[in-house]
Amino acid sequence: MAILKKIVIEAFGNPVTFYQLQDDGKPIKGRGDKMTYEMDKELVTLTGKAYLEQLDSNITGDKITYLVPTQQMEAFSGKGKQVTTVLLPSQLQEKGPGVNNKGK
């Protein structure tokens, strides 16, 4: 039985930035005070003034998770804080992954 190691990459910055060119050619970029990337899950987590943008739509919060294969995002904010999302109407009409906002 093989034992697999979980590989996690952590980055810290002021801010740390993230950029990906998706298969459809659309860029996605983000920033935060800290970023982790879990290679086995292909999961990016931005924390501390987290911001993620695709085209002209964006989402901000204390923490944003982005699952690369499915392009799904979740945003969280601390008690008494809000998650902010700006979506372009044309992107709302397209079928595709959703955005899930959770104020916690």
Give CATH superfamily name and number for 8-98: Lipopolysaccharide (LPS) transport protein A like domain (2.60.450.10)
Residue 22: predicted pLDDT: 84
Q: How many CA atoms lie within 13 Å of 75's alpha carbon, on the beta-carbon side?
A: 22
Q: Do β-strands 8-21 and 99-103 pair in parallel, antiparallel, or remain unpaired?
A: unpaired
Q: What is the pTM of this model?
A: 0.77
The pLDDT value recorded for residue 71 is 86
Supply 44's token pair.
Answer: 């990016």
Confidence of residue 29 (pLDDT cuts 50, 70, 90): very high
Q: Where are the domains of the chain?
A: 8-98
pLDDT tens readout for residues 47-68: 999 999 988 889 999 999 999 9
Inform me whether the pLDDT recorded for 83 exceeds 90. Answer: yes
H/E stretch holding 90 reads: helix 89-93
